[in-house]
């Protein structure tokens, strides 16, 4: 069995070793082609080889800011600080058995626990017992306090000792690189040599790349990322903090200040995620009214606010008002942006979704095709948003019971997603499920079962075990097994 090598190729637009400053990181751009007869290079001094095949995998080395400025210094402190009993950092740790060995972070984390204990002593021995309260009053308050303290401590513990979503070290191997099609852009962390999925960042404290990294919090001695963000929000009580921020800004800033509208929108977004649609709608409308009072009603922030309001109205089933708000946002964006801007495609897509839910399939198709046309002109051919448009068009065809065209668009969406997204991305599972639904409706139960099984296997790798999508997938598989008369397998 021959080994493989990535050889840099001379390309005019992306010369090997080019550096681009991007935000807090630098990006070194390389183009590689495959030579199946040589070994994987272990040194950056590989000679440049010109080949006739200019197609290949484009690897962009994302250099963290600390490494970018200190790359010529002798810094040997590159060991990963995580302590995971399951693998000792040789592969991606599980969500449990995780602790960052940072002395400063550990001291801050344990100080937080000390403050919890100190708060308990103050409440019990300073506030309740010395006062002449009744026994029932003391018991009620003690129960309430200890329940809230338990929830806070448990959320802090889960945030501190949960793997935030680390990416395996040194997984940018030839085998993993060549899973991507030619022409695919692959981002590789220059520090830990990992393939970086979208929204992943390198943490200079954990010495690892973290999926959907928000920040490294010393008070929980951990990064806040994909796997522990929920616990961090529960611990910090995000809504309450945004309310306090709003109160301070309203007190010290002039009425209608842009920072006040920002706080209003933040609270609205949190309430929306909690399913408190009426309250969320009130905050978003207050923010929008402030923009109008400041006479900036045609600002892009207003279009975003209208989009937020429309999404809430859609969730409430108020499709008429949602449609009007989306149309208003579209008109606003058309005045400010070029006709082929991706945000305009986003508005067309949102309007198409509302029309689809109203059963207006012809109009929904028109808007989704407009969104697709703009995205195909303004975005790369394999951009995930193009896959989203194709998926939405397929969904409308499915509602029209035009299964032949529906499965065609679903397959095109799946092809793009498999090309540009990680193999365990939820969108790939959705595509598998959509194709399975069509095959099920066509009576092709054998192939439908294959796609449902693929969807389930993908979801089990990227979603919590109690996620509703996994339950729905089990239900779909059960329906297929029932059609096949395999009732025994249904219960297994």
Strand 5-8 vs strand 208-210: parallel, antiparallel, or unpaired?
unpaired
Q: Could you read off the pLDDT of 403-425 as tens digits, one per residue?
A: 999 999 999 999 999 998 888 88
Give the pLDDT confidence score for residue 349 in this predicted structure: 92
32 phi and psi, to 5 degrees? -125, 145
In a 3-state reduction of DSSP, which class is residue 308? helix
In a 3-state reduction of DSSP, which class is residue 257? coil
Alpha-carbon distance values, 455 to 156, 248, 385, 441 (Å): 33, 47, 20, 17
- Looking at the DSSP bridge assignments, the partners of residue 187 are 60
pLDDT band at 113 (very low <50, low <70, confident <90, very high): confident
pLDDT band at 401 (very low <50, low <70, confident <90, very high): very high
Rounded to an integer, the average pLDDT of 374-401 is 92
Reading the block at residue 252, the tokens are: 């010290």
Give the pLDDT confidence score for residue 386 in this predicted structure: 94
Burial of 42: CB neighbours in 10 Å, binned 0-12, 13-18, 19+:
exposed
Give the pLDDT confidence score for residue 372 in this predicted structure: 95
Alpha-carbon distance values, 61 to 16, 40, 148 (Å): 11, 17, 45
Burial of 336: CB neighbours in 10 Å, binned 0-12, 13-18, 19+:
middle
Question: 316: closest CA among 348, 271, 346, 347?
Answer: 271
Domain boundaries, given as residue ranges, for the chain = 5-92+166-213, 422-492
Give the pLDDT confidence score for residue 295 in this predicted structure: 59
The enclosing H or E element of 462 equals helix 445-462
* HSE, side-chain direction, 13 A CA sphere, residue 231: 23
Asked if 266 and 301 touch (Cβ cutoff 8 Å), the reply is no
Give the pLDDT confidence score for residue 276 in this predicted structure: 79
Rounded to an integer, the average pLDDT of 208-228 is 81
Q: Name the fold adopted by 422-492.
A: 1.25.40
Burial of 279: CB neighbours in 10 Å, binned 0-12, 13-18, 19+:
middle
Helices (H) and strands (E) in the chain, counts: 18, 9
Q: What percent of the chain has pLDDT over 70?
A: 70
Q: Could you read off the pLDDT of 226-258 as tens digits, one per residue?
A: 777 767 766 665 556 656 666 776 677 777 676
Which of the pair, 366 or 66, is modelled with greater confidence? Answer: 366
Reading the block at residue 360, the tokens are: 């207006």
Give the pLDDT confidence score for residue 117 in this predicted structure: 84
Reading the block at residue 29, the tokens are: 């751009």
Which of the pair, 422 or 15, is modelled with greater confidence? Answer: 422
Reading the block at residue 410, the tokens are: 């679903």
- Looking at the DSSP bridge assignments, the partners of residue 216 are 223
CA dihedral angle for residue 451, residue 421, residue 213, residue 65, rounded to 10 degrees = 160
Q: What is the DSSP letter of 399?
A: H
**Residues with Cβ within 8 Å of residue 388, at least 6 apart in sequence:** 349, 413, 427
Asked if 84 and 96 touch (Cβ cutoff 8 Å), the reply is no
Burial of 436: CB neighbours in 10 Å, binned 0-12, 13-18, 19+:
buried
In angstroms, the CA 244 to CA 418 distance is 44
Q: What is the DSSP letter of 208?
A: E
Q: In whole numbers, what is the pLDDT of the chain averaged over residues?
A: 74
Give the pLDDT confidence score for residue 411 in this predicted structure: 95
Rounded to an integer, the average pLDDT of 43-63 is 45
pLDDT band at 84 (very low <50, low <70, confident <90, very high): very low
Which of the pair, 22 or 108, is modelled with greater confidence? Answer: 108
In angstroms, the CA 67 to CA 111 distance is 31
pLDDT band at 131 (very low <50, low <70, confident <90, very high): low
Q: What is the CA radius of gyration of the chain?
A: 27
Give the pLDDT confidence score for residue 279 in this predicted structure: 86
- Given a cut of 60, is residue 285 above it in pLDDT? yes
- Given a cut of 80, is residue 402 above it in pLDDT? yes
Strand 5-8 vs strand 18-22: parallel, antiparallel, or unpaired?
unpaired
Alpha-carbon distance values, 274 to 34, 239, 311, 350, 463 (Å): 49, 10, 14, 21, 19
- Given a cut of 90, is residue 367 above it in pLDDT? yes
Which of the pair, 75 or 483, is modelled with greater confidence? Answer: 483
In angstroms, the CA 92 to CA 80 distance is 12
Three-state SS string across 53-113, please? CCCCEEEEEEEEHHHHHHCCCCCCCCCCCECCCCCCCCCCCCCCCCCECCHHHHHHHHHHH
In angstroms, the CA 335 to CA 340 distance is 12
Q: Could you read off the pLDDT of 301-356 as tens digits, one per residue?
A: 788 888 889 888 988 889 999 999 899 889 888 888 888 888 899 999 999 999 99
Give the pLDDT confidence score for residue 489 in this predicted structure: 58
Query: Which of 34-43, 268-277, 406-415 shows the highest mean pLDDT?
Result: 406-415
- Given a cut of 70, is residue 70 above it in pLDDT? no
Rounded to an integer, the average pLDDT of 366-375 is 94
Question: 163: closest CA among 103, 62, 91, 104?
Answer: 91
**Residues with Cβ within 8 Å of residue 400, at least 6 apart in sequence:** 361
Give the pLDDT confidence score for residue 35 in this predicted structure: 38
Q: What percent of the chain has pLDDT over 90?
A: 22
Rounded to an integer, the average pLDDT of 100-105 is 80
């Amino acid at each position: 069995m021959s080994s493989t090598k990535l050889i840099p190729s001379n390309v005019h637009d992306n010369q090997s070793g080019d550096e681009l400053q991007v935000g807090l990181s630098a990006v070194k751009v390389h183009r590689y082609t495959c030579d199946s007869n040589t070994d994987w290079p272990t040194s950056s001094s590989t000679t440049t080889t010109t080949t006739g095949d200019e197609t290949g995998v484009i690897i962009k080395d994302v250099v963290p800011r600390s490494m970018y400025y200190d790359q010529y210094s002798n810094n040997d402190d590159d060991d990963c600080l995580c302590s995971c009993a399951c693998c000792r950092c040789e592969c991606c740790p599980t969500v449990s058995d995780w602790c960052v060995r940072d002395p400063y972070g550990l001291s801050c984390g344990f100080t937080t626990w000390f403050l919890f204990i100190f708060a308990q002593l103050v409440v019990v021995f300073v506030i309740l017992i010395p006062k002449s309260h009744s026994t029932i009053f003391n018991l009620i308050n003690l129960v309430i306090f200890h329940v809230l303290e338990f929830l806070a401590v448990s959320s802090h513990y889960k945030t501190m000792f949960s793997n935030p979503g680390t990416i395996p070290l040194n997984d940018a191997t030839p085998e993993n690189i060549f899973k991507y099609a030619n022409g695919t852009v692959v981002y590789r962390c220059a520090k830990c040599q990992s393939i970086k999925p979208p929204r992943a960042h390198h943490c200079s404290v954990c010495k690892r790349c973290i999926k959907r990294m928000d920040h490294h919090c010393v008070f929980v001695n951990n990064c806040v990322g994909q796997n522990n963000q929920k616990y961090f929000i529960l611990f910090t009580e995000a809504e309450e903090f945004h309310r306090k921020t709003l109160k301070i800004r309203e007190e010290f800033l002039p009425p209608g200040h842009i920072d006040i509208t920002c706080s209003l929108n933040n609270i609205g977004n949190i309430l929306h995620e909690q399913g408190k649609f009426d309250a969320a709608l009130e905050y978003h409308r207050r923010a929008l009214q402030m923009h109008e009072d400041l006479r900036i009603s045609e600002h892009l922030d207003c279009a975003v606010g209208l989009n937020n309001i429309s999404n809430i109205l859609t969730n409430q089933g108020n499709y008429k008002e949602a449609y009007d708000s989306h149309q208003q946002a579209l008109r606003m964006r058309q005045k400010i942006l070029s006709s082929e801007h991706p945000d305009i495609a986003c508005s067309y897509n949102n309007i198409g979704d509302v029309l689809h839910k109203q059963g207006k399939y012809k109009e929904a198709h028109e808007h989704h095709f407009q969104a697709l046309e703009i995205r195909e002109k303004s975005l790369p051919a394999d951009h995930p948003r193009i896959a989203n448009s194709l998926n939405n068009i397929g969904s409308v065809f499915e509602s029209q019971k035009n299964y032949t065209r529906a499965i065609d668009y679903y397959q095109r969406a799946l092809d793009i997603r498999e090309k540009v997204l990680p193999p365990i991305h939820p969108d790939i599972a959705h595509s598998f499920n959509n194709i399975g639904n069509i095959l099920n409706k066509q009576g092709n139960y054998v192939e439908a079962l294959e796609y449902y099984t693929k969807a389930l296997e993908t979801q089990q790798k990227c979603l919590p075990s109690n996620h509703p999508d996994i339950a729905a997938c089990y239900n779909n598989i059960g329906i297929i097994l029932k059609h096949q008369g395999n009732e025994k397998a249904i219960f297994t």
